[in-house]
Chain A
Amino acid sequence: MQGRARCVLYRPTTPASAGFPLYAPPRDGELREPPHVTVDAAIVGIGATPYYRRGGSAPRTLHELIGEAVLAALADAGLNVRDVDGFAYFAGGFDTPTLMEMLGIPEVTFSASLTGAGGGSAGAIGLAATALAAREATTIVCIGALQQGRQRFGTITSTSTSTSQSAFYETAGLVGPGHMFALLARRHMHLYGTTRRHFAEVVLSCRANAVANPEAVMRERPLTLEDYLDAPMLADPHCLYDFCLECDGAIAAVVTTNARARDLRQPPVQILASAHGGHRNYGRSIYWFNMPDEDFASSGHTAVARHLYRRAGLGPTDVDVALIYDHFSSQVIMQLEDYGFCPKGEGGPFVASGAIRLGGTLPINTDGGQLSCGFIWGMTHIREAVRQLRGTAHNQVEGASVALVTGGPSSLPVSGLLLGRTA
């Protein structure tokens, strides 16, 4: 990985060589070496349905959407259903035996789901890599799928089953995650001087990418700063556009060993490292709100970022394109900090520098992201990372060889994934 100049306009207050707070970079020698390929796993196939607006997939069924995505992913890889012997997911609403029954998959030797409340699709790919390393399966399909015709996630909190834990937030009128994350965003503004214009830059960057992506839900809806500032304020400081889209759709990714990947149809996308988990002081985050002050206005990703970089032998400057989990624009800024692209508290100035735009030093969410392309629990980010590393993205980052994918700031675990182009 060649080191490249970063932050042309933006100047971090802390020299990168000092190590940003909370991010412990690999030791010098490790940083200069090529990636340590210790993960014997690659993404070899991707399949997806169109991205529908919430309810737009009716009368198609969820399983029909999943079947379409899985069959497309297997065809993309040059495999068929009889090759599949494992499944890994983040979100529920479907399960392995139904998929086996529906698609005619003879036997599985691995089936797992990442826990937690965020969109852990990055972590689901990590589960697949773990199973391959343990030789518990050979060909694993990871799926993200949802239909929001009956239940929209924007108000999901208000429909969850009450518990003695939820009793502590239920009377506050926090209807959905956007209201809850607004409390973290407000605190970030207070501590670091982050502004709505910083959030807007995340939103407008994603929208500009979506407008150039014929598959994006918002492809025909360009957005200006004026539009953003005029938008209804849903949960101050989050306006309408700070919320991700509510969508229907399904995406599947096929993960297999490197040896097997070499014989397949597509250039494999190497899994350089995966990590999920997090530290106790972030805990249930938006369902807790008792995080220590240094963790409150964060994405909870610092520990996962540290493990991810160490496992890969890479650092933030090696990342060519980042697919940052964007359920809310404010959380993108906090993840950029937690992954060491800038010091803690400087995510606002970092995005304002133009760094995250196409052509910037760290293009993010090049398909338009969940804010403007489609929301499927972060599986859209897996799909876009694979396209970037195959060189087939609609908004291709020239020469992209390392992609970061993050999953789900929310109640732990959060997750991250570093993917690499096959040399």
Chain B
Amino acid sequence: MTGLARPPAPESIVVDRWTAPFWEALRGRRIVVCTCGRCGTSRMPPGPFCPACQSADVIWKGVSGRGQIYSFTVVRAAHSSRDDTGVAYAPAVVELDGAAGVRLITAIVDAPLASLQIGAPVSPVWHTLTGGQTVPYYTTDAHA
């Protein structure tokens, strides 16, 4: 079986001062989670205030990058093609280990369709956008 393809993605993404540390860390193949410096609540996406205590103190908590499939879908090419047997891709929400429920919106790649299962452990597969930004896709652990 052909592995799941990488999804269509833009050449680059927009960054602001509050999200920049997240994207910068990815260039070094690390995932950091925006966490409140006062009460310790993590948030995603990163932003200027803690929704729990409104503090603007931020610490960037490093995590392993591993996680579990929280949900997924499988997209097969065009909207109208009835018998398309082309390669599919699988957008997914991955809950990060060690980050209190923080989730990334990503895709499962380089894995067989049959490996897609909610709760399946996954590890990052680093992908560099045309514009140079590294982003994490994920693969199921049996196929890492």
Binding site for B on A (CB under 8 A): 154-155, 158, 162-175, 179, 182-184, 186-187, 190, 232-238, 280, 289-290, 292-293, 296
Provide the B1-26 mask, 1 if CB < 8 A to any CB of A, else 0: 00000011110011110110001000
Given A166-B14, A187-B118, A232-B81, check contact A172 B70 (CB 8 Å).
Answer: no
Q: Which residue of chain B has its CB nearest to the CB of A165?
A: B45
A residues in contact with B93, CB < 8 Å: 183, 289
State in angstroms the CA–CA spacing of A190 and B73 once bound together.
12
A residues in contact with B43, CB < 8 Å: 290
Query: Do residues A172 and B105 form an inter-chain contact, with CB atoms below 8 A?
Result: yes
Query: Do residues A290 and B103 form an inter-chain contact, with CB atoms below 8 A?
Result: yes
State how many angstroms separate the Cβ of B60 from the closest Cβ of chain A: 16
- Our pick among A162, A175, A187, A289 for the contact of B10 (Cβ within 8 Å) is A162
State in angstroms the CA–CA spacing of A184 and B89 once bound together.
17
- Our pick among A166, A183, A232 for the contact of B73 (Cβ within 8 Å) is A183
Query: Do residues A164 and B19 form an inter-chain contact, with CB atoms below 8 A?
Result: yes
Provide the B95-132 mask, 1 if CB < 8 A to any CB of A, else 0: 00000011111110000000000100000000101000
How many of chain B's residues touch chain A, expressed as a range?
A: 35 or more
- Our pick among A154, A183, A237, A292 for the contact of B79 (Cβ within 8 Å) is A154
State in angstroms the CA–CA spacing of A233 and B104 once bound together.
24
State how many angstroms separate the Cβ of A138 from the closest Cβ of chain B: 42
Given A171-B135, A292-B101, check contact A186 B72 (CB 8 Å).
Answer: yes
Query: Do residues B101 and A170 form an inter-chain contact, with CB atoms below 8 A?
Result: no
Q: Which residue of chain A has its CB nearest to the CB of B12?
A: A162
Q: B74 within 8 Å of A by Cβ?
A: yes
Q: B37 within 8 Å of A by Cβ?
A: no
Binding site for A on B (CB under 8 A): 7-10, 13-16, 18-19, 23, 43-45, 51, 70-76, 79-84, 89, 91-93, 101-107, 118, 127, 129, 135
A residues in contact with B18, CB < 8 Å: 164
State how many angstroms separate the Cβ of A93 from the closest Cβ of chain B: 22
Query: Do residues B45 and A183 form an inter-chain contact, with CB atoms below 8 A?
Result: no
State in angstroms the CA–CA spacing of A86 and B13 once bound together.
41
List of 10 A-B pairs having minimum Cβ-Cβ separation, nearest first: A173-B7, A167-B13, A182-B73, A164-B16, A236-B74, A171-B9, A187-B71, A169-B105, A172-B91, A183-B71
Given A183-B91, A232-B81, check contact A173 B71 (CB 8 Å).
Answer: no
Q: Which residue of chain A has its CB nearest to the CB of B89?
A: A173
State in angstroms the CA–CA spacing of A174 and B10 once bound together.
12
B residues in contact with A165, CB < 8 Å: 45
Of B84, B91, B107, chain A has the most CB atoms within 10 Å of the CB of B91
Query: Do residues A289 and B105 form an inter-chain contact, with CB atoms below 8 A?
Result: yes
Q: Which residue of chain B has its CB nearest to the CB of A283?
A: B51
Query: Do residues A179 and B118 form an inter-chain contact, with CB atoms below 8 A?
Result: no
State how many angstroms separate the Cβ of A65 from the closest Cβ of chain B: 24
| Seed contacts A164-B18, A235-B75; 13 additional CB < 8 Å A-B pairs | A163-B14, A164-B14, A167-B13, A167-B23, A170-B10, A170-B13, A171-B7, A173-B75, A179-B91, A183-B92, A232-B84, A233-B76, A237-B73
Of A155, A173, A236, chain B has the most CB atoms within 10 Å of the CB of A173
State in angstroms the CA–CA spacing of A171 and B72 once bound together.
14
Query: Do residues A290 and B44 form an inter-chain contact, with CB atoms below 8 A?
Result: yes
Q: Which residue of chain B has its CB nearest to the CB of A243?
A: B79
State in angstroms the CA–CA spacing of A165 and B23 once bound together.
12
B residues in contact with A173, CB < 8 Å: 7-9, 75, 89, 91, 107
A residues in contact with B9, CB < 8 Å: 170-173
State in angstroms the CA–CA spacing of A162 and B93 once bound together.
20
Q: Which residue of chain A has its CB nearest to the CB of B106?
A: A172
Q: Which residue of chain B has its CB nearest to the CB of A171?
A: B9
Write 7 A-B pairs (CB below 8 A) sorted by A numbering: A167-B19, A170-B13, A173-B107, A182-B73, A183-B71, A186-B73, A237-B73
State in angstroms the CA–CA spacing of A278 and B91 once bound together.
26
State in angstroms the CA–CA spacing of A155 and B77 once bound together.
12
Query: Do residues A171 and B75 form an inter-chain contact, with CB atoms below 8 A?
Result: no
Of B13, B23, B102, chain A has the most CB atoms within 10 Å of the CB of B13
Query: Do residues A174 and B76 form an inter-chain contact, with CB atoms below 8 A?
Result: no
